[in-house]
Amino acid sequence: MRQLKEDTIKSNLIESQQSAYGPVCVYQNKEYRWLTLAQKTNEDITIQGVMNLIHPEQVIVPVNQCMMLFLLKPVDTLNILNLGLGTAGFERIMYHLQSNTPYINTINTFNTVEINPSIVYVAKEYFNLPNSHSTFLQCAELYIKQCVALFNVIIIDIFSGEYHQPFLTSHSFWQNLKRCSEKNTQVIVNLNPQTGQELQSLLVLLRQHYKCLALVEFNEYKNIVLVLSQHTLMHINIDEIQNSPVFINFAPTLYKSINSIYHIE
């Protein structure tokens, strides 16, 4: 990722749009294509997602690989909701696993919610998002408020630059999310808390809505991944990740990138 920041220069720019939510820029070198949402100086560059040009199904960043942790406990039929499209890395790996591996049986529902039409455009044009994929151009908070469907996997990966959306600290958002969750739903959240107090406050809030929490810390990333469920998450541990056939094949070094996994049950 550090090398890609150095390569985020004009000569590698292949798409640039001024959206209502800020600049959307796509860059490419010989190996990778990536997305940034804001860029003033090198210090301000935040890479939102990366795609390997030769193997677009690969999930490159350990934080994004953890969005697949629900696969440690296989489900026959998946009903997936992804809040935040980015470079469609989650969509690419899910479709690849369904079509080319035995690890996913059936994806019954697969909806993605994205507020920025420019992101949807570049995901389809540059990051292999199928035109047939169910993408809802809407605020995630409003989608959840109006949602009548039920999902057993909910991914939340919504950032504006390095900051997550304020509604993630709202009781009403999590109440509405539970309303569109199945009995055994796992919710996986990518967070970048700015302070320990911010993280502590969020954990106190989430503990009021979910019986079980797993918190994943990384060696080289500030982000934290939270897994939420009403049922035990003790199976989410380093040994299980290291020995899982899915992760052996598609994220073989993830277990080395994880510093700690904490459980609250």
Chain position carrying tokens 């919710």: 187
User: How confident is the chain (265 residues) per 10-residue block, as mean pLDDT?
Assistant: 86 93 93 82 72 96 96 94 96 96 95 96 97 96 96 88 75 96 96 88 95 97 95 98 97 97 97
Q: Tell me how many domains the chain contains.
A: 2
Q: What is the CATH number of the domain that holds 122?
A: 3.40.50.150
As a three-state string, the secondary structure of 184-197 is EEEEEEEECCCCHH
- 253 in a structural domain: yes
Is the domain of 13 the same as that of 66? Answer: no
Is the domain of 32 the same as that of 153? Answer: no
Q: What's the whole-model pTM score?
A: 0.94
Is the domain of 139 the same as that of 190? Answer: yes
Query: What pLDDT was estimated at residue 41?
Result: 47
Is the domain of 43 the same as that of 74? Answer: no
- 96 in a structural domain: yes
Is the domain of 70 the same as that of 6? Answer: no
Query: What pLDDT was estimated at residue 43?
Result: 52
Long-range contacts of 47-53 (CB under 8 A, 24+ apart): 47/1, 47/4, 47/5, 47/8, 48/86, 48/87, 48/159, 49/86, 49/87, 49/88, 49/89, 49/127, 50/1, 50/4, 50/87, 50/89, 51/87, 51/89, 51/92, 51/126, 51/127, 51/128, 53/28
Rounded-to-integer distance, Cα 179 and Cα 50, Å: 33
Is the domain of 16 the same as that of 39? Answer: yes
Domain that holds residue 45: 2-52
Is the domain of 225 the same as that of 145? Answer: yes
Is the domain of 82 the same as that of 192? Answer: yes
Bridge pairing between strands 134-137 and 106-114 = parallel
Query: What pLDDT was estimated at residue 95?
Result: 97
Query: What pLDDT was estimated at residue 145?
Result: 96
- 57 in a structural domain: no
Is the domain of 211 the same as that of 82? Answer: yes
